[in-house]
Structure 1
Amino acid sequence: MQDWREADHRTLPQQTRTNRQVERRLDEAGLEPRWGGVPPAEFPALRSDSRRVGAGDLFCAIPGTRVDGHAFVEAAQHAGAGAAVVERVIDVDLPQLAVRDSRSAVSHLAALFTGDPGDALRLVGITGTNGKSTTAWLTRWILDDVGPAAALGTLGTVSVDGRIGAPGLTTPDPIDLALELAALRASGAEAAVLEVSSHALDQRRADGCSFDAVGFTSFSREHLEYHPDLEAYRAAKLRLLDLLVPEGVCAVNDDEPAWKEVAPPNATTLRYGFESTADLWPDRLVLHPAGAHFTLRAPGEAADVSLPLPAEFNVRNALAAAAIARGLGVPLERIAARLSAAPPVPGRMEVLSREPVLVIRDFAHNPDSCERALSSLREIVPGRVIALLGCGGDRDPGKRPQMGSILARLADVAIVTSDNPRSEDPSEICRQMVVGLPPDSYEIVVDRRAAIARGLAEAGPADAVALLGKGHETYQVIGGKRLPFDERRIVEDLLPALPGASGLGGGPA
């Protein structure tokens, strides 16, 4: 795989750059560039996919997780590339610029070829295992009150007018990322909030960005199909600190042990949490089915918040957004007012129906997020919690029995089903989820639509049906195909058959 995401970059604007500008940018980044051969005077565009190369383009050979881009230098030459950026020189008649790290190089060059759009934006980067999307959503919402703001992450691109574009990777490949930032800048954005995944940090996708503020949410087991162990996963997350500008803002979850030592020098560190020892904390917190009421406190200041997002973990996400915004100079009263007016986050404790039964979907897809979602529902639902959950294929199999155990323990009716099985057998994934569980503590309904129907049929007026794992996604990946699967539409189709059905109701629980 040569690109992290398929895209025809030739349809998007880049700016011609000279070979000296290219070499200077990489030298400034400490990547030790060394030309071999005589390069052309200038390059019309930057490419990381040999299939997208046009006449005179600069091709970057990136070592991928499955395929090494160096294998495509010759293909880039045949396509008309003017030169290639490489980590090791290839025996091809093409000028080559050798660098220490071509992944980092393409990130820095992507910024160069798109006019350094990040320099004209107030950039915020958010990382963590869970809570990134909601924190980014709320941070954008708060910052938009003081100037046009956008966001980019798992949900897609949220533009300055609040519209949501098609979702892709949490953090796009470097060229797409730079082009997205250029488009946001052109649309009038003054700030952009980015979700920055551990994959992106490990693969240096955001190295061309300089963040004015960074935020750290939660930390728990995830992506061990990619990272060798939890410490490597944590180290990848911490790379975000390397991209923070001097005198920047660092917002840290004070209740997360993994971040206890995070306090970058030459930065303003604000710690948020549920204890009064934090820099921001919620006093007099009251949770209810529609959200939470609390007093947002900082040293010497306080402001009341009526957060319209259910669950305690959303209070923590709101605190993260508040810490980032406060560090960037937004007054506490203004932060509280914006949090109180926040719109619902797609696929995050999102209510799909109230009558005849409460139906909520959430993106919970790892042990920690499943535990938080189900525990929160148990606190606010008067009746039973009927939950269905699957595990993704071609992902860390070690978390499957953990998630099955959490589902069986916290749901009154536990339905094990499929998620995105990808290349794996969904029945086998379900079997792995229930290893060691008492047979009467769960049921398996492999077909996810049938599982939703089963949950709805089981529910009574005081119960809640929780659809866990897919959240905002409107597809299911089975084999090599991405098939339409929109849980909102499926619930709409199934509800009318239930006794007492009167249609959908959206908004907070």
Structure 2
Amino acid sequence: MKSLHNLADNLPLMELSQEKDVTVYGMKMDHREIEHGDIFFCVPGFTVDGHNFAEDAVKNGAAALVTDRWLNVSVPVLKVPDVRRAMALLSAVFYEHPSSDMHLIGVTGTNGKTSVTHFIEQMLAKLKINTGIIGTMYTKYNEKIIPSKNTTPESLILQQLLAEMRDADTDTVAMEVSSHSLANGRIHGTQFNTAIFTNLSQDHLDYHVTMKDYARAKSLLFAQLGSSFNRNPQAVSIINIDDEYADIMMEASAAPVITYGMTDNAMIRAENVRLTPTGSVFKFSAQGITKEVSLKLPGRFSVYNALAAAAALYVRGYEWEKLLPLLSDLTGVSGRFEPVMSNASVHVIVDYAHTPDSLQNVLETIKDLAEKKIYVVVGCGGDRDKTKRPVMAGIAERYADFVYLTSDNPRTEDPALILDEMAAGVEGSAYEVIEDRKEAIYKAVMQAGPEDVILIAGKGHETYQEIGKERFDFNDKAVAEQALKEWK
């Protein structure tokens, strides 16, 4: 518990409606969850404004409100310019700045965030370091797994999770940082030791509108390393210098920059990369050290992700001689270029690729390895960036022998209209629109011949199909496994 006045002292440009001090026992942004003594944050959302539920929160026992306007209520009101950023700062103070007690690694970028955080966790596990993960799939620490609603949790939840990790003696946390969380201030007040940039390609333009805005949002993670609440003078930015948006991240960085990539100007490099059906081999080069490294993971994207993870541990203080052997033991992440095992001679791969760049990367890898035909099952999410829909379909057509366009979390949009927009990007006739995703997967499997490859793209680890505002059980891998049992 904390004093309201002590909490308020941490908010710049704050106005308090009354001098009365109260004891705060908790914090909430949902009025239905309010308990006696909680602060209620009146967060203005895209469809719902928390200010409309202020009276309900007070009736439920709220001790104070944080608002962006004056409200006529019986409890103290803290009026601030930005409720979300105030919520992030106050929740960090309430939980006594848990991020400052651990080594926090933030990973941002369009693709690769989940793989990089998991690679970091795998390597640190080999080094006997207690590590936590926060990201798209789940929050995980001490074998405890908490399903995720967002890539980066709301600030109240984030600080609570970090506090739980700290109290469980977690040493290092590898955390995915989304552009949405950066743009709306969810990580305000969180202290990062290391920030990693993987890459940037078209996604979330429904939210950021332009690629420039999208890049600017991503760059906030690196600019934050120099903020007043990030007191660590040894913070480091790790940037993929091969990406066209690398300069924006480096210019924004308030901390020293280390670069990685496959080009000569990268400080940490993979040279002479050779892709194999089961992985890759490359010459690692950094700080005068060269060594051949083998990965069990296919694709050039896996090499980039491995370099990023290794760089994060290097700046953590580990020597290359200890880190490089660990790269050969890295294993894939669920739903990331994951093969579906079966007795059939058809090869099925499930991948989370849901952006044009990630789909192209996966298909380029498959194209290099496939001996016969390539089939793609792909859809695009509803209530999300519409501009990528024809682009995704066009990329699938370019690399595949046949494409099945299907539903992928249509949400509140009409699935048929989404598929029409995707089909506009296909120039030929080697495709079929099948709205039912299960039917599309079955059709692809039954159409394929021996040694053909089927890519089921978009959902990866997800175990649901979001239709309307409901989630229904659906698992690409499970459907593919059943279809393969029936394949002849």
Q: Which one-letter code corresponds to 1:96 in the other structure?
A: V
Matched with 2:177 is 196
User: Which letter does structure 2 place at the counterpart of 1:340?
Assistant: S
8 Å Cα contact 2:405-2:419 kept in structure 1? yes
Partner of 2:53: 72
Secondary structure of 1:39's counterpart equals coil
Corresponding position of 1:38: 19
Instruction: Please tell me whether residue 319 in structure 1 is matched to residue 300 in structure 2.
Output: no
Say whether 1:103 aligns with 2:91.
no
- Number of positions where the alignment pairs a residue of Structure 1 with one of Structure 2: 479
1:159 CA displacement: 2.3
Alignment of 1:369 with 2:358, yes or no, is yes
Give TM-score, length-normalised by structure 1.
0.90
Q: Does 1:158 align with 2:137?
A: no
Report the equivalent of 2:242: 255
C-alpha distance in structure 1 between counterparts of 2:73 and 2:271, whole Å: 65
Structure 1 residue 458 corresponds to structure 2 residue 447: yes
**Superposition deviation, residue 164 in structure 1:** 4.5
Q: Please tell me whether residue 114 in structure 1 is matched to residue 95 in structure 2.
A: yes
CA drift of 1:21 comes to 2.0
Q: How does 1:152-301 map to 2 (within 5 A)?
A: 152-161=134-143, 164-244=145-225, 245=230, 246-263=233-250, 267-301=255-289
Q: Does the 8 A contact of 1:39 with 1:82 survive in 2? A: no
Q: What is the aligned-residue RMSD (CA, Å)?
A: 1.7
Q: Which residue of 2 aligns with 1:488?
A: 477
Q: Distance in 1 between matches of 2:245 and 2:79?
A: 37
Q: Contact 1:40 / 1:82 at 8 angstroms: preserved in 2?
A: no
SS at match of 2:331: coil
- Describe how 1:321-360 pairs up with structure 2 within 5 A: 321-353=309-341, 355-356=343-344, 357-360=346-349
Matches within 5 A, 1:69-148: 69-146=50-127, 147-148=129-130
Secondary structure of the residue that 2:9 maps to in structure 1? helix
Distance 1:165 1:60 in 2: 24
- Kindly provide the amino acid, as one letter, of the partner of residue 18 in structure 1: S
Q: Summarize deviations over 1:436-476 as a string: whole Å, max 9, x none.
A: 53451311121111111111112222211110000000110
Tell me which amino acid in the other structure corresponds to 1:413: F
Question: Aligned partners of 1:183 and 1:337: how far apart in 2?
Answer: 32
- In 1, the alpha carbon distance for the partners of 2:104 and 2:374 equals 40
Contact 2:219 2:253 survives alignment (8 Å):
no
- TM-fit CA distance, 1:113: 2.0
Which consecutive residues of structure 1, in runs of 5 or more, have no partner in the other structure? 1-15, 500-509
Q: In 1, are the aligned partners of 2:222 and 2:253 still within 8 Å (CA)? A: no
Secondary structure of 1:482 counterpart: strand
Identify if the C-alpha distance between structure 1 residues 232 and 225 changes in structure 2 by more than 3 Å, giving closer, same or farther: same
Residues 145-168 of structure 1: CA deviation (Å, up to 9, x unaligned): 44211111001113244x654232
The one-letter amino acid paired with 2:335 is G
Q: Are the equivalent residues in 2 in contact too, given 1:281–1:297 (CA < 8 A)?
A: yes
Measured in 1, the distance between the counterparts of 2:335 and 2:20 equals 49
Residue 25 of structure 1 aligns with which residue? 10
Work out the CA distance in 1 between the residues paired with 2:255 and 2:102.
Answer: 19
1:467 corresponds to 2:448: no
Distance 1:374 1:407 in 2: 8
- Alignment partners' CA distance in 1, 2:435 and 2:28: 42
- 1:503 aligns to what? none
**Residue type at the aligned position of 1:21:** N
Counterparts of 2:202 and 2:274 in 1: how far apart (Å)? 29
Distance 2:117 2:470 in 1: 30
Cα shift at 1:182: 1.7
Contact 1:367/1:399 (<8 A) preserved? yes
Q: What is the alpha-carbon distance in structure 2 between the residues aligned to residue 84 and residue 437 of structure 1? A: 52
Question: In the aligned structure 2, how far is the partner of 1:116 from the partner of 1:144?
Answer: 25
The more displaced of 278-287 and 109-118 is 109-118
Write the deviation string for residues 37-73 of structure 1: whole angstroms up to 9, x where unpaired. Answer: 1333321111111111122211112221222222222
1:379 aligns with 2:368: yes
Q: Is the 8 A contact 2:106 2:192 kept in 1?
A: yes
1:60–1:86 CA contact under 8 A, matched in 2: yes
The alpha carbon displacement at 1:414 in A equals 1.0
2:131 is matched with which residue: 116, 135, 149?
A: 149
The aligned amino acid for 1:151 is: I
Question: For residue 337 of structure 1, what is the amino acid of its counterpart?
Answer: P
C-alpha distance 293-271 of structure 1, shift in aligned 2 (>3 A): same
Q: Distance in 2 between the 1:458 and 1:187 partners?
A: 51
* 8 Å CA contact retained: 2:349, 2:453: yes
Superposed CA offset, 1:188-247 (max 9, x none): 310101101011111111112110000011111111111122211111111112332433
Equivalent of 2:434 in 445, 450, 466: 445
Identity %: 35
Could you say what secondary structure the match of 1:225 adopts?
A: helix
Tell me, in whole angstroms, the C-alpha distance in 1 between the residues paired with 2:2 and 2:176. 29
Question: What letter is aligned with 1:257?
Answer: E
Aligned partner letter, 1:25: N
What CA deviation, in whole Å up to 9, does each residue of 1:273-299 have, x standing for no partner? 111220111123211121111222102
Q: Secondary structure at the match of 1:342?
A: coil
CA contact (8 A) 2:393 2:425 kept: no
Rounded to whole Å, the distance in 1 between the matches of 2:20 and 2:281 is 62
TM-fit CA distance, 1:477:
0.6
Q: In the aligned structure 2, how far is the partner of 1:120 from the partner of 1:174?
A: 17
Q: CA separation in 2, counterparts of 1:62 and 1:481?
A: 23
CA shift in 2, pair 1:495/1:164, >3 Å: farther
How big is each residue's C-alpha offset from its partner over 1:417-445, in whole Å with a ceiling of 9 and x where there is no partner?
11111111212211110115345131112
Instruction: Report what 2:408 is aligned to.
Output: 419
Contact (CA 8 Å) 1:290, 1:308: kept in 2 or not?
yes
Contact 1:303 1:333 in 2 (8 A): no
Residues 266 and 418 of structure 1, relative CA distance in 2, 3 Å threshold: closer
C-alpha contact 2:7 2:94 (8 A) present in aligned 1: no
